[in-house]
Amino acid sequence: MTFDSNTPMDEINWRLLELLQTDARMPFSELGRKVGLSAPAVAERVHRLEEAGVITGYRAQVDPSRLGYSLEAFIRLTCRGNSLERMTRAVSELPQVQEFWNLTGEDGYVLRVILRSVKELDALLKQLQIFGSTTTSLVLSKPVEFRVISAGPETSPPL
Partner DNA sequence: GGTGAAACAACGCACAT
Partner DNA sequence: ATGTGCGTTGTTTCACC
Residues of the shown chain interacting with DNA in the complex, contacts defined by CB under 7 A: 6, 8, 12, 27-30, 36-41, 43-45
Of 12-31, binders to its own copies (CB under 8 A) are 17, 20-25
Q: Which of 43, 74, 79, 134 binds its own copies (CB under 8 A)?
A: 74
The single-letter code of the amino acid at 26 is M
Q: Per CB under 8 A, does 5 bind its own copies?
A: no
Q: Per CB under 8 A, does 82 bind its own copies?
A: no
Minimum distance from residue 51 beta carbon to its own copies (Å): 11
The single-letter code of the amino acid at 127 is Q
Q: How many CB atoms lie within 10 A of CB 105?
A: 5
Q: Which of 34, 123, 129, 133 binds its own copies (CB under 8 A)?
A: 123
42 within 8 A of 13, measured Cβ to Cβ: no
Per-position x/- string for 126-155, each x denoting binding to its own copies as judged by CB under 8 A, each - no binding: -x--x----xxxxxxxxxxxxx-xx-xxxx
Give ∠ CA 153-155-159 in degrees, rounded to 5.
100
Nearest to 73 by CA among 142, 129, 133, 127: 142
Check residue 65 and report its DSSP letter.
G
Q: Which of 30, 43, 64, 134 binds its own copies (CB under 8 A)?
A: 64
Minimum distance from residue 62 beta carbon to its own copies (Å): 5
Helices 11-22 + 39-51 axis angle, to 10: 80
Q: Per CB under 8 A, does 83 bind its own copies?
A: no
35 within 8 A of 45, measured Cβ to Cβ: no
Q: Per CB under 8 A, does 9 bind its own copies?
A: yes
Whose Cβ is closer to its own copies: residue 39's or residue 54's?
A: 54
81 within 8 A of 130, measured Cβ to Cβ: no
